[in-house]
Structures are given as structure tokens and as C-alpha cells.
Amino acid sequence: MKTQRQIAVRNYESRKGFIHHYQKLIKEVVIPYQYAVLHDQVEGVEKSHVVANFENAAKAVRGEDPGDGFYGMVFQDSDAAKWIEAASYSLAVFPDKDLEQKVDELIDKIEAAQDKDGYLNTYYTIKDKEKRWTNLLEGHELYCAGHMMEAAVAYYETTRKDKLLGVMQKNAAHIYQRFVTEGKEGYPGHPEVELALLRLYRATGDRKCLELAKHFIDVRGVDPEFYKREVENRDWKVWGNDASNYDYQQSGKPVREQTDATGHSVRAVYLYTGMADLAAETEDQELLEACRRLFESITNKRMYVTGGIGSTVLGEAFTVDYNLPNDTAYAETCASIGLMFFASRMLEAEVDSVYGDVMERAFYNTVLAGMQLDGKRFFYVNPLEVIPGISGEAVTHKHALPQRPGWYTCACCPPNVARCLASIGKYAYGENETTIFVHLFMEGKVSFENGLTLSCETKYPYEFKASYQVLEGNGNMAVREPDWSRDKFRILVNGREQTGIKKKGYWYLEDIKAGDVIEVLFDEQVKTIHASSRVASNSGCAALQRGPLVYCVEGIDNEGDVLSLSYAEYGESKAEKFEPELLGGTIRLKVDGYKTAKIQSLYTYEKNKPEPYTITAVPYYTWGNRGLGQMRVWLPERS
């Protein structure tokens, strides 16, 4: 039993302001653009061929010649799945017959590409059926299946149309047959199917999906040598991944014994999301305890202040505790989305504001930074320091691009941002039989299964107040107190200040009812953040945060030179007025600081006295939207 659970995406509707702007951008720009990319209708971007792959696979299934064959990464199918999932969420908020028809057409193509036995993956169906299930380490069959299951559930939940759901139930049955009934050994190289099977289980009630998810989680790492044998038993490879790098694939130990978040960071958080979901679903305390340890390992030892995770491009991976380089960070957009998934499932297991805090940090900083403000360009990698001439250029910094490119050969992040933003309501709000939960503060109308309906008015994250009006029903309400608003957090119910029950960072309000107005007031001060001295890269440095937004300093606002700046240790940071025309509407900070004169020599014995300088900072999520320039989140601090 879950303590509380995500609301259905269709039950949250944004109407104006910050979140609505993003959801509209997803609907109007991102989803149509990605649709065009998937159909190879966009000039000058990497070829996708995703839809063509399904068409060609359908021919192969029918025994016909598969046309121009397969093109793309081994996990190319997942781009279609993520697009359907994003479109489904968007349809829940913005009904759109045309888009729905496009999804239906694509689903028809997917259905046609499914083999009679339920198998579905265009790479193997087109290229070589004999290779199926022979390379779990790199083959991404279970990964693609997982994404398509999520798409099926999302589309079903929005439209109640169950064609894709049926396809994926059949696919799940095929996998169950292979791995449970026939006892084929192994577990997914890239976790994803675990969390997807649990969603499929809840959508269909099919306990075999639950059982299969549990199976993959239970067997993982019990026999770490599995991948080595697999390599020996096959004569093909995708990239030649090192089967003995247990850390990379989170398989050195059974998951219940794992203590450190390791390896490929997206794989890690997808796995932990499935684990947390299963732990709550089955009340598996040992598994939940492992999840707590892994969450703590990430968020207290291996996470950037922006909610980014993955310190290195080598394996797109976690490294070791407190190794958080700012300039060579990987901090993949997808990984922060996965961290939100994990945090949200942990909240379902136990309501504690640490999870909501991390979800909010990842969302408002790394996830939003992953997308250009116009919705047309995307970052995979979200560094905390960018220096033109070094970033994207030095051999060690090739991955840390100083500007967002349009589309990638490996296009995982853009559709992931789309599905995250389109479904943000389910992360923001939760419920159980008696109580509704506010995890994130987002404008809109939200209805709950117990009949409560709320309307939220807020200009968050740029105003420090959220007003909830109860439109219908009655029940209890729990509201997260953010870490950055600790002790300066107030709740007024119908104008009366609450001093009531606070448990693990949530305020509990009993018996709210139609007509009540609940006002939540946050700390509006600019906060100075310091990192633990164990983090070498941030020694002597500070970062700024206001509300959930971590700020950064860009060259364009500071005479092109960020590297010469430092914050004044006891100085003031003033928030400017909201500027609707700047960076999609934002608030800049004016911060007391210093600027060091440029010296020509590499080293000097001369004192280089810094002059007072007012530094301008902007929210991290807006960086890189005004051309090429320096950027830093952490600046040295001096008094």
C-alpha cells in the first residue's frame, strides 16, 4: 500500500503563468517538431527514421522485404514511445483531435510491427531475428519495451483507447514467458521496463506485470557474472560495453544490498524508481531501505546544486562521493528527470519533504535548463560552468556544449523533457483516501479521487505566495515546506495563520472544505548556498538561490567576463522587478561583488586588488539563451 500516490495526469490543468507557458510550448512547438523529426520531415537535423523503422518492421513481420531497413540507435523505437507518452499527457490537458489522430496512426504502425508472438522491436525484427534476447547488456529490447508500455498506459489513461495497451500487454506476456515461465536468465542492461511494468500492472490489473517487474529487480546483481557469460555466448555487439563493469550497470550486488549510486546515471535512477515503486506497492521494507540509502547517496554526496547528477561523460555516470566538477559535469537532462521519477516514487512510499525538495530542485534547474526557452533546442549535458574556448572544445570538454543543439543522433533528452513537462501535475500533487498532497507549487485546477477540487493561483517561482481555493468536496490537505523556506513558511486558512501539525516537512491541514482559501507564503530572500568543504570544486565559492531557482552569472550581463567576478561575503543580493520580456519573463538579481582587473600574464606575484562590482545573476534554467558567453553557478566569495 502506498502512503499516497501520484494523481492522474488528466486531473491537473494549468491555465496561465509559468507552468502553463511550458505546457503550451510542449503542445505547440515541441510535440509538433518532434513529430516532424520522427517522420523525417525536418531539414538539416539528424535523420531519425523512427516511423520508417516501424513501417519496415511491419513488412518484415508480414514476410515482405523491409524496404530501406533499420536506421538509428539500437533504442531508436523509444523515441516514438516517448513522443506518444508526451502527446498523451498533452492531450489530457489540451484535447486535440488532430494530434490524437496522429497518435492513433502511429499506434497502428506500431501494432503492425509486432510479431505474432508479441515481440516488438524494429531493430531486431528488421535486422536479425536470431539476435533477439541475446544481448541484454547493450540490446535495449527491454528498455524500448518499457518506454512503449509507458506510452500505452499514458495514452490509455488520457483517451481510454486501449489498442497500444493491448499490444504492450501481449508484449509483456511474451517477456514473462521468456524470463519467468521459461526461466531465461538475465536482467535489463538499461533499466526502465521495471518501472513501466508496474505502471502497466496498475493500468491493467495484470499481476503478471507486477511479478515480472519484481523478477527483474530481484535477480539483478544476484549473479554479477551474468553479462560476462552473455558476452561469451554471442558473436555480436553494439558498442562492446565492458561486461565486468558492474558499477556501470548497477549489477555488482543484489539491489537490496546496494549502498552507493553508481554507473550510468539515467540507468541508475530508472532502476531506483522501479525499486521504490515496487517497495511501496509490495510493502517491501528491505527494498525501501535500499532505496533510502541510494537516494541519500545521490542527494547528499553525488548531486549538483542544480539537481544534476552524473559527474563524468565517461559512461555518462556517477563517479565517487563529492566529485562534482562544474565544467566537465555530465548532469544529463534525462538523469534529472529520472531523479524526479525516483523522488516522486519515494514520496509514495513515505511522505517526507526531502523527496519533494530534490524533485523541485531537479525540475526548476536542470530539467528546465535542458530546453531552450523557445522549445526548439536541447541540452543533454548541463554544466555549471561554461567558458567559450574550453567548453565544447577541449578534448575533456567536448560534451559540455556552450549552446543547445537542435536534435541529436541519440535523441533521448528532448522527448523526455516533453513528457516530464506535459505530465508535471502528477509530480506536483498526490492523494490517498483521506488526504491530498501538495508537493510542488503550481498554478492550475486539480481534482482528486476523493472529490476534492482545488484551484491554485500563483506566480511561483517568481512570487512567493500560492493561494488555493477549495472548489468542491472536503478532506485533509498536506503541504510541503521547502528546505529553502524553512522557518519562514506560513500557511493561512481563510486568513487565519496555522500553527498546526508538521511532520517530516509537511504541514497537515484537517477538514478543509469547499469555499476555504488556503494561502501559502514562502521566504522571498535570496539565499547564499555553500557546498560541503568535501566538494573540492566549490571550495571558497558560493551560489545563489531564490525560491526553487538556482541562479547563475552570465557574461552577457557582466561585461563578458564572469571569471573575474566574486561575490561579497557579507554583501546584499537584491531581486529586481519581474521583467516579462526578458528570458521568457524572469527576475534578475543584483549582487554585491568584486571584479578583478585582467592581467596579461598567466601568473603574477603582484597584488591584484579587486574593485567593487555589482554582479547580475539570472536563473540557471535560462542560461545560454542569449548567444555564446561565459556562465558560472559557483563564484568565489570574498569579504
- Which residues would be at the binding site for a copy of itself (CB under 8 A)? 299-301, 303, 305, 311-312, 314-315, 317, 319-323, 325, 327-328, 385, 387, 389-390, 393-397, 483-484, 486, 527-536, 539-541, 545, 561, 563-564, 566, 569, 596, 598-608, 635-639
Beta carbons of 279 and 287 less than 8 angstroms apart: yes
CB atoms near residue 31 (< 10 Å): 27
Distance from C-alpha of 85 to C-alpha of 423, rounded to nearest angstrom: 9
Distance from C-alpha of 62 to C-alpha of 112, rounded to nearest angstrom: 9
Q: Which CB atom, from 305 or from 591, has the smaller least distance to a copy of itself?
A: 305
316 a catalytic residue:
yes
- Report the half-sphere exposure of 487 (CA within 13 A, side-chain side): 0
Q: Which CB atom, from 106 or from 386, has the smaller least distance to a copy of itself?
A: 386
Q: Rounded to a whole number, what is the distance in angstroms from the first to the last CA of the chain?
A: 53
- List beta partners, residue 545: 527, 550
Q: Which CB atom, from 320 or from 501, has the smaller least distance to a copy of itself?
A: 320
105 a catalytic residue:
no
Shortest spacing between CB 639 and a copy of itself, in angstroms: 5
Shortest spacing between CB 244 and a copy of itself, in angstroms: 14
Q: Which CB atom, from 233 or from 639, has the smaller least distance to a copy of itself?
A: 639
Shortest spacing between CB 390 and a copy of itself, in angstroms: 5
Q: Which CB atom, from 352 or from 385, has the smaller least distance to a copy of itself?
A: 385
Q: Which CB atom, from 117 or from 561, has the smaller least distance to a copy of itself?
A: 561
Which DSSP symbol is given to 309? B
Distance from C-alpha of 122 to C-alpha of 113, rounded to nearest angstrom: 7
Residue closest to 380 by CA, chosen among 405, 361, 343: 405
Distance from C-alpha of 383 to C-alpha of 574, rounded to nearest angstrom: 25
Distance from C-alpha of 194 to C-alpha of 605, rounded to nearest angstrom: 59
Q: What are phi and psi of 580, to 5 degrees?
A: -65, -25
Q: Which CB atom, from 406 or from 571, has the smaller least distance to a copy of itself?
A: 571
Residue 197 DSSP SS3: helix
Shortest spacing between CB 300 and a copy of itself, in angstroms: 5
Shortest spacing between CB 533 and a copy of itself, in angstroms: 4
Q: Which CB atom, from 130 or from 487, has the smaller least distance to a copy of itself?
A: 487
Shortest spacing between CB 295 and a copy of itself, in angstroms: 13
The single residue listed with the C-alpha cell 558498442 is 239
Q: Which CB atom, from 314 or from 501, has the smaller least distance to a copy of itself?
A: 314
Three cell numbers written together for 134 = 541475446
Residue closest to 309 by CA, chosen among 337, 341, 336, 347: 336
| Four-point Cα dihedral 31, 36, 37, 40, nearest 10 | 160
Q: Which helix (H) or strand (E) holds 575?
A: strand 573-579
Q: What are phi and psi of 587, to 5 degrees?
A: -120, 125
- List beta partners, residue 216: none
Which DSSP symbol is given to 496? E
- Report the half-sphere exposure of 180 (CA within 13 A, side-chain side): 17
Shortest spacing between CB 318 and a copy of itself, in angstroms: 10
Q: What are phi and psi of 446, to 5 degrees?
A: -140, 135
CA 479 to mean position of chain CA atoms: 22
Which residue in 412, 413, 541, 552 is the catalytic one? 412
CB atoms near residue 132 (< 10 Å): 17
- Report the half-sphere exposure of 418 (CA within 13 A, side-chain side): 35
Shortest spacing between CB 402 and a copy of itself, in angstroms: 13
Amino acid at the residue 383: P
Three cell numbers written together for 420 = 516530464
DSSP collapsed to 3 states, 120-148: CCHHHHHHCHHHCCCCCCCCCHHHHHHHH
Which residue in 13, 141, 194, 316 is the catalytic one? 316
Shortest spacing between CB 37 and a copy of itself, in angstroms: 31
CB atoms near residue 209 (< 10 Å): 26
Shortest spacing between CB 579 and a copy of itself, in angstroms: 26
Q: Which residues are catalytic?
A: 316, 412
